């Protein structure tokens, strides 16, 4: 929040503790741009994805999630439900 844009190579991984469906919900209040939200389970498999539109109140995965990737919306098709995602520490 507070940023005016997101570059196509930027994003954030949010670790959800404890993992869950409602714990992994996000809101887009005060956001100035849309994002792609990619939810992963504890095994880092994609379980849900959507374009989250600015100023919308609520997005949640269809099943419990352990990680939420928030990335540039043009990257949403880089991930498909069932994909295994490798997360490396930067």
pLDDT at 14: 96
pLDDT at 88: 82
Instruction: Report CA 9 to chain centroid distance, whole Å.
Output: 14
Q: What pTM value is reported for the model?
A: 0.93
Domain count, the chain: 1
Give pLDDT < 50 ranges for the chain.
none
28 domain residue, yes or no: yes
pLDDT at 90: 61
The pLDDT tens digits for 37-57 are 999 999 999 999 999 999 999
pLDDT at 89: 73
6 domain residue, yes or no: no
- How many Å is the Cα radius of gyration of the chain? 12
Token pair in block for residue 46: 């994609």
26 domain residue, yes or no: yes
pLDDT at 2: 72
72 domain residue, yes or no: yes
88 domain residue, yes or no: no
């Amino acid at each position: 929040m507070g940023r005016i844009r997101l570059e196509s190579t930027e994003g954030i991984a949010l670790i959800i503790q404890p993992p869950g469906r409602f714990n992994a919900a996000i809101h887009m209040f005060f956001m100035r741009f849309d994002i792609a939200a990619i939810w992963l389970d504890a095994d880092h498999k994609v379980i849900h994805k959507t374009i989250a539109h600015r100023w919308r109140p609520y997005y949640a995965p269809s099943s419990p999630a352990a990680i939420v990737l928030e990335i540039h919306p043009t990257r949403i098709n880089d991930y498909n439900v069932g994909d295994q995602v490798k997360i490396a520490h930067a």
